[in-house]
Structure 1
Amino acid sequence: MEQQVEVIRTIGADHIALREQVLAELRRRIVDGDYAPGERLTETRLADDFGVSRNPVREALRVVEAEGFVEILPRRGAVVATLDETAVRDLFAVREQLETLAAGLAAERADADDIARLRQLCAEARAATAAENFDRVAELNSAFHRAVIDVSGNRWLRSISSSMYHHVHWVFRVGAAQRAPHSSEEHLRLVDAIEAADPTAATAAARAHVAAAARAALGQHPTP
């Protein structure tokens, strides 16, 4: 007779999982524009939207506030943050430092599998651009940059950049239709430099890419 093994699930474990699910979905809806900048997000409304109680919603709101996706305003409560020129400039200032460092290290450390992975992401992004699936393009854009950082082999870069790429996705998605074809070409130039094991060229390609992305983003996010 087969013995049955009882699986014990704790309330605490389920609560943490639910909170993380709510957080991921709330962040996704903000990044994808389902919740627009300036839109009010009450605990009751979000609980109804997600079909959960208010407790995990409250905890998720605290996290997205700390991440900069939500602001708490007097008499209004939680509202989706607005990406203004200062926020965008600050984001790209950090991107330039992190991504140029990652590119140089990736050029020193990449192997054939790493290059194949980067080229596959570029190919998927081109296909998504041709299909005008710009939500997917934005996801692949962030995935590409995370992959370059993974290839760099620097765990500190991975840790520091983790939350940043949610904001990169948010900024990119706004102008994805116009930016996507140029971004794909710039990504390919970066991969070529990494494959050539040329840290100087990779660093230059990453810097040029971030500068072009910043110019495009600032055109989308003027000072209020």
Structure 2
Amino acid sequence: MSKYMNLKEKSYEIIKHNIINLIYRPGEYLEEKKLSSSLEVSRTPMREALSRLEDEGWVNIYPRKGIYVAKIDETLINNVFEARKTLEISSLKLTAGRLPQMKLELLKEKFADLTVDDPKKLEIIDDEFHNMIISFYDNFFLKKATVNIMEHAKRIKMFSLDRKVKEVILKSKEEHIILIDLLLEEKIEEAEQLLYEHLERAQRYYLKILVV
């Protein structure tokens, strides 16, 4: 990979990481010159990185106004969770007889050991579980789309991390344990239904946070 491509990729990855982890806040103005200076990247690779970030929904670029981090709003949450419900449940249909039981048992133990005082740990294990489900896609285009969707979902979760109440953490923990038991028993149709309900509840929860 050329030095130019490395600089463009470096800019893209660092800015996206900062957006997902809320170092750059939703709606924040990003000055291109300052970004280039802080990342030690020239104008052209920086602009190409920002164009890619706009294509993937991370920033909005307005002529003569500037670059702004995409907001977390009702449209984004609904779009992300509608996509997740479609992709994750479709992927679950492919998992029958293929899910590694040892991995499932380990994840079950991790969920069981969770306490209500550690929402960040819940999100880490939650990501591990859902990424395992979608890993069964043997399709380049679906995998690429799914990575983008799950990264946007991670930003939404980070946005709510300090607002998670104990009841929500306990409910999520309980649902994941039941879901894993269904998968261990290869009750895929029941698992699909519970996964759909789980994602629906999460969608409603994040929408509620917007108005609190």
Q: TM-score range by the shorter chain?
A: 0.7 to 0.9
Question: Which residue is 2:127 aligned to?
Answer: 142
- For 1:183, give the aligned amino acid: S
Aligned with residue 102 of structure 2, among 116, 121, 130 = 116
* Identity across matched positions, percent: 27
Say which is worse superposed, 69-78 or 211-220, in terms of deviation: 69-78
Aligned with residue 171 of structure 2, among 162, 182, 195 = 182
TM-score, normalized by length of structure 2? 0.83
Distance 2:11 2:151 in 1: 15
1:94 matches 2:94:
no
Distance 1:173 1:72 in 2: 23
Question: Which residue is 1:103 aligned to?
Answer: 92
8 Å contact from structure 2 (residues 112, 173) kept in 1? yes
The Cα shift of 1:31 comes to 0.9
1:197 matches 2:197:
no
Structure 1 pair 199/157, CA: closer, same or farther in 2 (3 Å)? farther
The Cα shift of 1:116 comes to 2.6
Structure 1 pair 17/188, CA: closer, same or farther in 2 (3 Å)? farther
Aligned with residue 71 of structure 2, among 71, 79, 82 = 82
Distance 1:21 1:126 in 2: 38
Question: Which residue is 1:9 aligned to?
Answer: none
Residues 132-167 of structure 1: CA distance to partner in whole angstroms, max 9, x if unpaired?
A: 372x654543332121111x3543643431211110
8 Å contact from structure 1 (residues 109, 153) kept in 2? no
Unaligned runs of 5+ in 1: 1-11
Structure showing greater radius of gyration is 1
Question: Which residue is 1:7 aligned to?
Answer: none
Distance 1:121 1:15 in 2: 41
Query: How is 1:13-92 mapped onto 2 (pairs within 5 angstroms)?
Result: 13-92=2-81
Where do 4+ consecutive residues of structure 1 move more than 6 Å?
125-131
Question: Which residue is 1:169 aligned to?
Answer: 154
Residues 19-78 of structure 1: CA distance to partner in whole angstroms, max 9, x if unpaired?
A: 222211111111111101111112211123323333332222111111111011343211
8 Å contact from structure 2 (residues 108, 180) kept in 1? no
Distance 1:75 1:128 in 2: 49
How many residue pairs are counted as aligned between the two chains?
206
Q: Secondary structure at the match of 2:60?
A: strand
Structure 1 pair 83/119, CA: closer, same or farther in 2 (3 Å)? farther
TM-score, normalized by length of structure 1? 0.79
Q: Secondary structure at the match of 2:93?
A: helix
